[in-house]
Amino acid sequence: MSLRTYLQKLAEKQALTQISLPVSPQLEAAGLLKALEPEAVLLEQVTGSNFRLAGNLFCTKAAFASYFDLTPREIIPALAGAIDRRTACPRASSAACQEVVNLDPDLEALPILRHCTGDGGNYISAGVFITRHPEHGQNLDFHRAMQLSKNELAVRVVRGRHFDAFLNELGEMEVAICIGLPPNVLAAAATSVALGIDELEIANALEPVPLVQGKTVDLLVPAEAELVIEGRIFRDRRHAEGPFVDLTETYDAVRQEPVMVVKAITHQRDAIWQALLPGGLEHRLLMGMPREPTIFQQVNQVVRCLDVHINPGGCSWLHAIVQIDKQTEQDGKKAIAAAFAGHRSCKHVFVVDADIDIYDPLQVEWALATRFQGDEDLVILPKEPGSSLDPSAEPGTYHTTKMGFDLTRPLAAKGKDFNRAKFPKVDVKRFIR
């Protein structure tokens, strides 16, 4: 299903807030999205642009799962399965994303948002970048891009990613920035996989993704994207990029980043611009959720893992809650070690039993209060490689102290029972009408 088809379904279910009054792309649109979060929003008029704008579409795991008619607990098996059974994408004979082809592109015509007062400029925040390496094939990834002029962008190329490695080797590359995509493509773009794996094939395993050849670049792009920005990026041509709000809702550093020169913009006739609120719930979900299958797989190698939740309270990046079926007293600590191996940027891991709902922070805190003793159940790992997104990490090295909390109950209680009392279930409708 295309993004616009999904928006139509949300509207039919009265789950889409549609705003018809004009909204400015300078701070006002971002402020409105933040105020309405987690409600899905469609702005019918963006000042200075002919494009509509959608945001807050996948702010919760439940919203993401509903697109695929799944429950939140079914997401991890679905994502993990898609990685294992990835398939080649079909080729489209025609493409909605190329209904309009502009070979004299002007980024000023697009509703590129300025999100916060401290931002370095207007930013493309929901752009999925497609590049190609002559040996390793296509690569799909998220990168933010700051508008410099009508046809130039400064792209934050995250060090160590495949895009960074390709650009360092080749010096310059063709690029397609795809905007307005369904969640299977968004999730695949945020997934970390081995070099040479085309993330679009992961997306295709979740739901078919027809591809079409770009108009000015030798790249295959999703045919049902709302908009595609084609161009070329240069390793040695750089410009200051930032400040910009990152995942932790703090400002990232200003860096000299590669410049992309835009050659063409193609789009659907009535294209919808997709915005991703930096540091917002949707941003966190799309960053953190693809790491849950990797934790799940690692933990399952040492104990039986039931579910994983990289929760928003930990910026959907720094905290992981792991639910296990405990069989031995060491299972909790084994799960902690495996979780850190599955997501190396994680800072704090909380391991709970099967009776704790990992999506309910009150239940997790209850387990911390009743099943945890710091001198026995706390694992401390000092001077570990951490995340550059953590403002408390050591500057330069990003070293941090990681902690694991074994919140599982002892298999044999020495004193008071650790089991939670269960109240009987009643049919409330019998008594209250």
Encode pLDDT of 110-139 as tens digits: 999 999 999 999 999 999 999 999 999 999
From the candidates 119, 246, 377, 390, give the one annotated as an active-site residue.
Answer: 246
- Choose among 56, 71, 79: nearest CA to 10: 56
pLDDT at res. 286: 86
Helix, strand, coil percentages in the chain from 3-state DSSP, rounded to 5: 30, 30, 45
Residue with the bigger pLDDT between 351 and 80: it is 351
pLDDT at res. 316: 87
**Sequence-distant (≥ 6) Cβ neighbours of residue 29 within 8 angstroms:** 23, 43, 46, 53, 55, 111, 113, 275
- Choose among 128, 129, 125, 16: nearest CA to 66: 16
DSSP code of residue 93? S
Q: How many CA atoms lie within 13 A of 260 on its CB side?
A: 29
All CATH 2.30.110.10 domain ranges of the chain, comma separated, are 88-268
Convert the pLDDT of each residue in 204-252 to its tens digit: 999 999 999 999 999 999 999 999 999 999 999 999 999 999 888 889 8
Residues facing 229 on adjacent strands: 177, 265
Convert the pLDDT of each residue in 320-343 to its tens digit: 999 999 999 999 999 999 999 999
pLDDT at res. 371: 95
CATH classification of 286-406 is 3.40.1670.10, yes or no? yes
pLDDT at res. 158: 82
Q: Enter the CATH code of domain 88-268.
A: 2.30.110.10
Report DSSP letters for 177-241, one per residue. EEES--HHHHHHHT----TT--HHHHHHHHS---EEE-SSSS-EEETT-SEEEEEEEEEEEEEEE
Is the pTM here over 0.85, yes or no?
yes
C-alpha 228/C-alpha 224 separation (Å) is 10
Instruction: Write the CA distances from 280 to 14, 243, 257, 283, 314, integer angstroms.
Output: 22, 17, 24, 5, 12
* pLDDT cut 70: percent of the chain above it: 100
Residue 389 and residue 247 in contact, taking contact as beta carbons nearer than 8 Å: yes
pLDDT at res. 185: 92
Least confident among 13-22, 149-158, 268-277, 414-423: 414-423
Clarify whether 406 is annotated catalytic: no
Q: Is the pLDDT of residue 262 over 90?
A: yes
DSSP code of residue 251? B
Strand boundaries in 310-397, DSSP class E: 319-325, 348-352, 378-385
Q: Decide: helix, strand or coil at residue 171.
A: coil
All CATH 3.40.1670.10 domain ranges of the chain, comma separated, are 286-406
- Choose among 130, 133, 145: nearest CA to 188: 130
Residues facing 352 on adjacent strands: 323
Q: Is the pLDDT of residue 24 over 90?
A: yes
- Choose among 219, 251, 235, 277: nearest CA to 32: 277
For strands 128-133 and 172-179, give the pairing.
antiparallel
Amino acid of residue 270 = D
Q: Look over the chain and give the mean of its residue pLDDT values, rounded to a whole number.
A: 93
Q: Tell me what the mean pLDDT of segment 181-200 comes to.
A: 86
At residue 417 the predicted structure's pLDDT band, cuts being 50, 70 and 90, is: confident
C-alpha 58/C-alpha 277 separation (Å) is 11
pLDDT at res. 421: 82
Q: Is the pLDDT of residue 351 over 80?
A: yes
